[in-house]
Structure 1
């Protein structure tokens, strides 16, 4: 499986409190969330398939912050954007945070970014940025 950068576009149809492991509880608004991660090393972009299994309720292990959101019973995984072979995780996350609202401290424990999880009330806001960031870098 190739390596790369990916963004998951997730819908949370109703407000919810989600516990993100050691990061604690976050009161999340209904709307759209975009999580950007990297998949370099063992397994590469097969990590995306793992995220899909968590979202479908087929995998219960919570390893990354996003697992707590994808594993929430009301969350729907809407789309996945991928840039194969391109390590742009932080740049894509920053662009999404600029377009929406960053959820401080989530998904960015191994870098100095504010967050790798962004929120916007409308799908189009995050989808357009994710698509542009990934398509222009192929």
Structure 2
């Protein structure tokens, strides 16, 4: 299965407080968000399917920061943007407006966080294209 960089475009239907592991309780105002991660491990983009299952309530095991948010009943996955074969996770995250939670999704890098706030699918797709252009 192929891997690469992905961004989940998320809807949070109402204000939510989410306990995000070591980050603690995080207040997430209602709105649209994007979480950017990578899927280079076993299963590749199957990780995205796992995230969707968690958001739908068909799975309950949390591994990553975004899983804690997806497990909240106010959160849903609206869309997914992928860049197959390219490791542009941090470059995409840096191009999007910062969301709540310092370090959210960035425990293995030096980024401020990988959760963006107030984004559209088009803005996320543009961030992926621009990041890919920078590495080519």
Structure 1-normalised TM-score? Answer: 0.89
Question: Following TM superposition, by how much is the alpha carbon of 1:135 offset from its aligned partner in structure 2, in angstroms?
Answer: 4.4
Conservation of the 8 A alpha-carbon contact between 2:3 and 2:85: yes
Does the C-alpha gap of structure 1 residues 87 and 64 become closer, same or farther in structure 2, counting only changes over 3 Å?
Answer: same
Conservation of the 8 A alpha-carbon contact between 1:14 and 1:30: yes
Question: Following TM superposition, by how much is the alpha carbon of 1:127 offset from its aligned partner in structure 2, in angstroms?
Answer: 2.1
Paired positions, count: 132
Q: Name structure 2 gaps, 5 residues minimum.
A: none
Structure 2-normalised TM-score? Answer: 0.90
Partner of 2:101: 103
Conservation of the 8 A alpha-carbon contact between 1:9 and 1:127: yes
Partner of 2:121: 127
CA RMSD of aligned residues (A): 1.6
Q: Does 1:24 align with 2:3?
A: no
Residue deviations 1:48-95, cap 9 Å, x none?
111011011111011000001111111111000000001000000111
